Chain A
């Protein structure tokens, strides 16, 4: 019998048992929900009237594009995910979905999300969405993640772009306001992620991912968290200081910023294992609330402003 025949017998065809839930998990729904919310704010603060159908179309495209990035990211990081306890239950490490299937799923979603946004809304927004997916998958996942401790700093740009894409979808152009939203998320990402990396550093070390606590140590990470938080608080007040939003937003940004800063100082000061773990967990949890509340304040202010214009 020839070698070719043997191979034909040995290679059993793969039939997937992956359910819809597995594919939904590939989209990283929790990350997607934050993307949708920040994109909604980017869309709402745009100084133009956007038809609700176009607004929903833009949000769906941005959400699906973010989901595509998540699926491609998981396809490329199956080996790392299998080692880390936080990610070991994802569909690829569990063997529910094969990496090639995740790639096909991610590429299809990326293609349709960009094409739909380009055709139905505008090509500037479509191109920016394509760039966002490219940045997350190629620059962050393939280029930076396994090579440098600055991976999350540079890679954070991908997660900061959704409100900019939404603004461009609404207006067809760029302006200072969406760039301020970009900067807020950009400077929020490192303290948020490094707080997680501090209490998950063993996981990252085992997987060989060069996150800051693994490469530079916990103390250097605590200092970086504090420094980035100071910049974040200043940037978050900029939309008010530059006159784009009212004092209500400014006060909210300062109160929330004070909370974030207090927790970052706590992380910097508490270096004993028990207190340090509690401090980093608190900062991580608050950082999610911080971003949500900051963007919700922007949303409320815009809605109130629109209502007052309609009444007046």
Chain B
């Protein structure tokens, strides 16, 4: 019978946990920049943000 305290599935190493955390922070920052960009352009353009010439 297996040990009930033993974690199931994949157990990440410390290096894998660290790199995953780094990647998650980078994705969060990139999404943050995207949100700020859209917000800033909306402020700059005002209602004209909906007019996008081809």
Contact = CB atoms under 8 A, between A and B. Distances in A.
Interface in A74-106: none
A54 B48 CA distance: 13
Contacts, number: 56
A245 interface: no
Size class of the contact patch on chain A? 20 to 34
Contacts of A119: 52
A13 B38 contact: no
B9 to A, nearest CB: 9
B22 A19 contact: yes
A16 B54 contact: no
B19 A19 contact: yes
A23 B26 contact: yes
Contact of A57 (B13, B15, B18, B41): B41
B16 interface: yes
B19 A16 contact: yes
A16 B37 contact: no
- Among B12, B22, B41, B45, max chain A CB count under 10 A is at B41
A120 B38 contact: yes
A15 B19 CA distance: 10
A54 B52 contact: no
B7 to A, nearest CB: 14
B47 interface: no
A23 B54 contact: no
A155 interface: no
B19 A120 contact: no
A15 B41 contact: no
- Among A23, A53, A54, A118, max chain B CB count under 10 A is at A53
A15 B10 contact: yes
Contact of A122 (B10, B26, B53): B53
B12 to A, nearest CB: 6
B40 A53 contact: yes
Given A23-B26, A57-B41, A16 B53 contact: no
- Among B19, B20, B22, max chain A CB count under 10 A is at B19
A254 interface: no
Contact of B37 (A15, A20, A51, A57): A57
B53 A23 contact: no
16 contacts: A16-B16, A18-B23, A19-B18, A20-B26, A51-B44, A53-B40, A53-B44, A60-B33, A116-B38, A120-B49, A122-B53, A122-B54, A123-B52, A123-B53, A124-B53, A124-B54
Interface of B: 10, 12-13, 15-16, 18-20, 22-23, 25-26, 33-34, 37-38, 40-41, 43-45, 49, 52-54
Interface of A: 13, 15-20, 23, 51, 53-54, 57, 60, 112, 116, 118-120, 122-124, 172
3 closest A-B pairs (Cβ-Cβ)? A120-B41, A53-B44, A20-B26
Given A17-B16, A20-B25, A120-B37, 14 more contacts: A15-B12, A15-B16, A18-B19, A19-B18, A53-B43, A53-B44, A54-B44, A54-B45, A57-B40, A57-B41, A116-B34, A116-B37, A123-B53, A124-B53
